[in-house]
Amino acid sequence: MTVRRGPRPTGDRLRRLLVMLPWLMERGEVPVAEMCHRFELSEQELVKDLELAAMCGLPPFVDEMVDVFIDEGVIFAGVPRLFTRPLALTAPEGFALLAAARVAMQLPGADADGALARALHKLAVALGDDAVVVETPQPPAAAAVADAAQRSARLHISYWSPAADRRTEREITPRRVFFEGGYWYVIADDQLSGEERTFRIDRIEHCRLTGVVDPRREVEVPHGDSWFADDELPAALLRVPAGGGWVAERYPTRSVQADGDGWLIEVTVASERWLRDLLLRLGSEAEVVRPAEWLGLGAAAASELLRRYERAGSDGS
Amino acid sequence: MADALERITNLVALLMETRAPLTQQQIVDELEGQYPTGDAAQRGAFERDKALLREIGVPLESEVLGGNDAGRTAYRIDRDRYELADLHLAPDEQAALQLAVAAARLADAQFGLLKLGGDRSSAPVVVANIPELPALPALREASAARAAVSFGYHGSPRRLHPYALLLRERFWYVIGHDVDRGEVRTYRVDRMEGELAVGEAGAFERPADFDPRATFPTDPKMLGDEPAARAEVLVDEPRAAAIERELGAAAVVRRLPDGAVVVEVPCTNLDAFRSWLFGLGEHAEVLGPAGVRSAVVEWLQAMAGAR
C-alpha cells in the first residue's frame, strides 16, 4: 500500500469517490480491507470519505441519498440512482489505457490475436478511432531473455561490454526485463561479477540456456533515469553548440543551462569510453569544461582515429 | 463548515438531477448552509468547486441565460456525458488489460482501469517505461475527432490535421497534414511550444491508407532532403557480428579473413551517419565514397587541432 503524507487534496478524494460509489453499489457488501487495497487508501482515509458520502444526495428523498454503513470490517452500501456509473474516462486516462495496451501488444511473448487484442479493439472503438502507434522493436535475444526471466533460468551470453570495449562471456540469471528510452534492458544476477547488473539486450550477441534454474528473487525496475543517474558515477560538464542540445534529450544529465547560443550540460559518465565517443560525435565545437583530466579527451580521440585514416586506405578503396 | 468533499459530491448530484440549468444563487440556495456566507467567500468557493470538477473530468456545462436572468450563467451536468459507457469486456479481456496496465506503468491508465472495473496486478516480469507528455491526450482526442490543432514549433505557428501519434525510439511524434505547407509533416511532441489549441471536430478526413510508420524512415541516417546516399564502412572483428545483426546480412559487401566486414550504410543525413560511425569508436573506418571519407577526416582534424 502506498503511504502518503499530509492532507489529501479534495480533487483526488472526489475522483476516487466517484469510482468507489458505483463499484460499492454493484457489490452491495465488501470487506474494508479489500476496498482499501483496491483503491489504495488507508482504512482511516476510506472510512472518513465513505462516512462523508453517506450524508450526500438530494434531500429530502431518501432513495436519492447515499446509504453506507460499516459493521465489523464489512461495508454495506446502497447508493442512489445517481451514482450508478463511474465518471467517463478522461482524456489522459483514455490515452494512457490505449498506450498501455499498445505497448503490451509489443512485449516479448504477446499474443497478437488474443484477449488483449480484443480488449484493445473495444477500447479503441469506445474512445474513437485513434491511430496511436507504438514501436518497441525487439532485439533478437529479447524473447529468450524474457522467457528465462519468467523461469529464473540461467543463461550463457556473449555480451559486448562498452566500458571495457570487448566481448565477454558470462552466465546471468535474468530477473526483470524492461524497455526504456528506445532500448530493452535486462536486470540480472551476473555470475562474472557476482553482482546484480543491468545489460542492454541488443548487445547480447549470443545466448543459450545452461540448464540451471536459480531460486526466484524479486527485483525492482527503476523508473526514468534513476537507474543510470548513479551518484557513484562521475560527471562531466560540457559546453556544446546550439545543435548539441540532443545530448540532454538523449542521456541522463545532472544539469542543463543555456550558454549563449549553446548549452552547458553536466552529463553522467558511464565510462570514459562513452564520453570519448560522445565527444567525437559532437565535434570541434564542443568542449569539456571539467574535470581537468578530460579536457583533452576529445582531441586525443580524434588524433588517434586520424592515424587510422592516414594509413592511406587500409582496404584499398 | 462542512468538508468540501461533501459539498462537491452534493453539487454533482444536484447538477446531474436538475432539468433546467442552475445559477450560482440557485445552487447556493439548494445546498443550504454548505457554502460560506458573504459574497466574496461564496464566489471564491464556487469557483474552486467548478475548477475542481473540470480538473477531474466532470463534464460541467454552462450557458448564459436570457430573459429575466439575462447575463447570468447557469450550470448543469449532462448525465450521458458524465457516465462511463460499458465496454463489455469479457473476463479474459479484462485480465489482459489489467496485465497491460501493470506492464506499462502509467498512473492514468491505472486509474482508468479502476473505472473499467479492473484491479491492480502485481508487477509483471517484463515492463515498459514510455515517455508521458501533457499534450498527448489532447492530441489523441483531436486525432480521433478529426479536429485541427495549432501550436508553435521552432518559433513559428503551425496548423495541423493530426492523423496519428507515433512513439519511435524515445520520442513521441504527431504526424499529419500541415495546412499551411500543404503536405504531410512530422513534429516531435516534446518540442511543441506554447498552448495547444484544438478546433472543431470533423474538420478533415484521414487518407484511408495512411500508415504513420511509413511517413519517415526508422533509420535517422536516411532522413533529410538530400538525395539518398550510401557509404562503405569497414567494421573490425570485435563489432562485426553486432553490426551485421543491426544492419542485416544483406548490408555486408565483403568479409575479410580476420573477421572484419565491409558494410554499406545509408549516409543521406551526414550528422546521423557520423553519430552512428563514432558510436563504434576506433573499430570502424569509412572507405568511400571519397567525399564522405574526407568529410570525416576533416571533422577529426578540426577536433585534433582544437587541442
Q: Write the ipTM.
A: 0.81
- For the four alpha carbons of A76, A82, A84 and A87, in that order, the dihedral sign comes to negative
Residue predicted with more confidence, A153 or A181: A153
pTM score, whole prediction: 0.80
Residue-wise pLDDT for B106-155, tens only, equals 889 989 999 998 887 777 888 888 888 999 999 999 999 999 999 999 88
Query: Domain check: are A35 and A59 in the same one?
Result: yes
> Cβ separation of A146 and B275 shorter than 8 Å?
no
Q: Please give the share of chain A, as a percent, with pLDDT higher than 90.
A: 30
A101 and A51 within one domain:
no
Domain boundaries, chain B: 4-82, 84-130, 136-205, 222-305
Let me know if residue A154 belongs to a domain. Answer: yes
Distance from CA of B275 to the nearest CA of A (A): 5
Does residue A137 belong to any structural domain of this protein? no
User: What is the distance between the alpha carbons of residues A105 and A87, in angstroms, rounded to a whole number?
Assistant: 27
Pick the closest to residue B287 from A310, A277, A306, A314 (CA basis). A314
Separation in Å, CA of B141 to nearest CA in chain A: 7
Examine the domain organization and report whether A214 and A250 are in the same domain.
no
Chain A: residue nearest B240 by CA? A205
Indicate the average pLDDT of chain B.
Answer: 88
Q: Which of A103, A127, A151 is the last residue of a domain?
A: A127
Cα first-last separation, chain A: 65
Instruction: Among B84, B113, B169, select the one facing A87 at the smallest CB separation.
Output: B84
Judged against a pLDDT cut of 70, whether residue A226 lies above it is answered with no
A27, A218, A280: best to mutate for the B interface, most B CBs within 10 A:
A280
Cβ–Cβ gap A88/B59 under 8 Å: yes
Number of domains chain A contains: 4
**Cβ within 8 Å, pair B90-A165:** no
Chain A closest-CA separation from residue B95 CA (Å): 8
Please report, in angstroms and rounded to a whole number, the separation of the first and last CA atoms in chain B: 72
Instruction: Say if the Cβ atoms of B115 and A179 lie within 8 Å.
Output: no
A173 and A103 in one domain? no
- Residue A299's domain comprises 228-310
What CATH number is associated with residue A193?
Answer: 2.30.30
Q: Which helix (H) or strand (E) holds A278?
A: helix A272-282
What value does the mean pLDDT take over residues A196-208? 90
**Do A93 and B97 lie within an 8 Å CB cutoff?**
no
Neighbours of B59 (CB within 10 A): 16
Residue A106 burial (C-beta neighbours within 10 Å; 0-12, 13-18, 19+): middle
CATH code (residue A19): 1.10.10.10
Please say if the pLDDT value at position A249 is more than 90: no
Around Cβ A147, how many Cβ atoms within 10 Å?
A: 18
Whether residue A19 is found in the same domain as residue A63: yes
A132 within a domain of the structure (yes/no):
no
Residues A146 and A167 in one domain: yes
Contacts of A224 in chain B (CB under 8 A): 129
Nearest to A134 among B101, B167, B242 (CB): B167
- If you search the block for the grid coordinates 489489467, which residue do you land on? B98
Whether residue B5 and residue A17 make contact (CB cut-off 8 A), yes or no, is yes
pLDDT digits (tens, 9 = 90+) for B184-236: 888 999 889 889 999 999 999 999 888 888 877 666 666 665 667 888 999 99
Whether residues B112 and A87 touch (CB distance < 8 A) is answered with: no
Lowest average pLDDT, out of A56-60, A206-210, B158-162, goes to: A56-60
pLDDT at A316: 43
pLDDT for the residue B118: 84
DSSP 3-state assignment of A259?
Answer: strand
**Does residue A184 carry a pLDDT above 70?**
yes
User: Which residues have a Cβ under 8 Å from the Cβ of A139 and sit 6 or more positions away?
Assistant: A184, A201, A202, A204, B245
Contacts of B163 in chain A (CB under 8 A): 131
Say whether B99 and A116 touch across the interface (CB within 8 A).
yes
Query: Are A299 and B304 inside 8 Å of each other by CB?
Result: yes
Q: CB–CB of A190/A163 below 8 Å?
A: no
* Residue whose cell numbers read 541516417: B221
| A240, A260, B106, B192 from A263: Cα distances, Å | 5, 7, 31, 20
CATH no., domain B222-305 = 3.30.70
Residue for grid cell 562531466 = A236
Exposure of B262 in the CB half-sphere (CA atoms within 13 A)? 15
CATH entry, B4-82, from 3.40.605.10, 3.30.9.10, 3.40.50.1010, 1.10.10.10: 1.10.10.10
Of A87, A139, A166, Cβ closest to residue B58: A87
CB contact under 8 A, A89 and B112: yes
Gap between the Cα atoms of B150 and A133, Å rounded: 21
Inter-residue contact B138 to A91 (CB < 8 Å): yes
Chain A residues whose CB is inside 8 A of the B239 CB are: 160
Of B84, B109, B218, which is closest to A96 when you measure between CB atoms? B109
Residues of A whose CB is below 8 A from B166: 133-135
Most confident of A51-55, A70-74, B2-6, B42-46: B42-46
**Confidence class for position A134, pLDDT limits 50, 70, 90:** confident
CA distance B198 to B151: 9
> Are A60 and A47 members of one domain?
yes
Does 2.30.30 match the CATH number of domain B136-205?
A: yes
**Inter-axis angle of helices B39-55 and B4-17, nearest 10:** 70
**Residue partners of A61: CB distance under 8 A and separation at least 6:** none
Give the integer Cα–Cα distance in Å for A264 and A267.
10
Closest-CA distance of chain A to residue B66, Å: 28
Which of B10, B113, B278 has the CB atom closest to A97's CB atom?
Answer: B113
Q: Taking all residues of chain A, what is their mean pLDDT, rounded to a whole number?
A: 85
Residue A133 lies in a domain: no
Q: What nine digits make up the cell of A47? A: 472510512
The answer to whether residues A96 and A60 belong to one domain is no
Chain A residues with CB under 8 Å of B100 CB are 100-101, 103-105, 116, 119
Distance CA A151, CA A174 (A): 9
| Residue that has been written with the C-alpha cell 467517463 in this structure | A88
Question: Do residue A239 and residue A197 come from a single domain?
Answer: no
Give the model confidence (pLDDT) of A252-310 as tens digits: 788 888 888 888 999 888 788 889 989 999 988 889 998 888 988 989 999 999 998 88
